[in-house]
Copies of this chain bind each other. A is one copy, B any other.
Amino acid sequence: MKKPEVGLTHLRVTLSDTFYVGPGRADLLDGIDKTGSIAEAAKGMGMSYKRAWSLVQALNDGFGAPLVETQRGGSGQGANLTTDGRSVLEAYRRMQQATRDAIAPEVKALTRDMSRRK
């Protein structure tokens, strides 16, 4: 059986009344960065293209500057992160890691308590 993921499983950071980043948004930015395509990124997450597209709109509008830019050309449509997009994604990954480090002692103590009870 797969060992369950223990520790941080959801971190949402709100930056304004119109903008937040959570694990889904970060994974979408990551997927766009890796595949160069909103459709491919969505597919990799089991998300509909429509949903991914509306998340990209929410990210771009909410931040106040594009995090993702799209191109249309002869060979179809491509997408990539802007400098702002990359900077937001990297900051989120650093915050996830900082959180994992910060909560590690409590997680360890709690899982030890629980295993004593089972």
A: residues with CB less than 8 A from B are 4-17, 19-20, 22, 63-65, 84, 87-88, 91, 94-95, 98-99, 101-103, 106-107, 109-111, 113-114, 117-118
List B contacts of A16 (CB < 8 A): 4, 6, 111, 114
Oligomer: number of copies: 2
The docked-state distance in angstroms from the alpha carbon of A84 to that of B116 is: 12
Query: Which residue of the partner chain, among B64, B65, B91, B102, contacts A99 with CB atoms under 8 Å?
Result: B102
Question: What are 10 A-B contacts defined by CB distance under 8 Å?
Answer: A6-B14, A8-B13, A9-B12, A9-B20, A13-B103, A15-B107, A64-B114, A64-B117, A64-B118, A99-B102
Query: Which residue of the partner chain, among B8, B94, B107, contacts A106 with CB atoms under 8 Å?
Result: B94
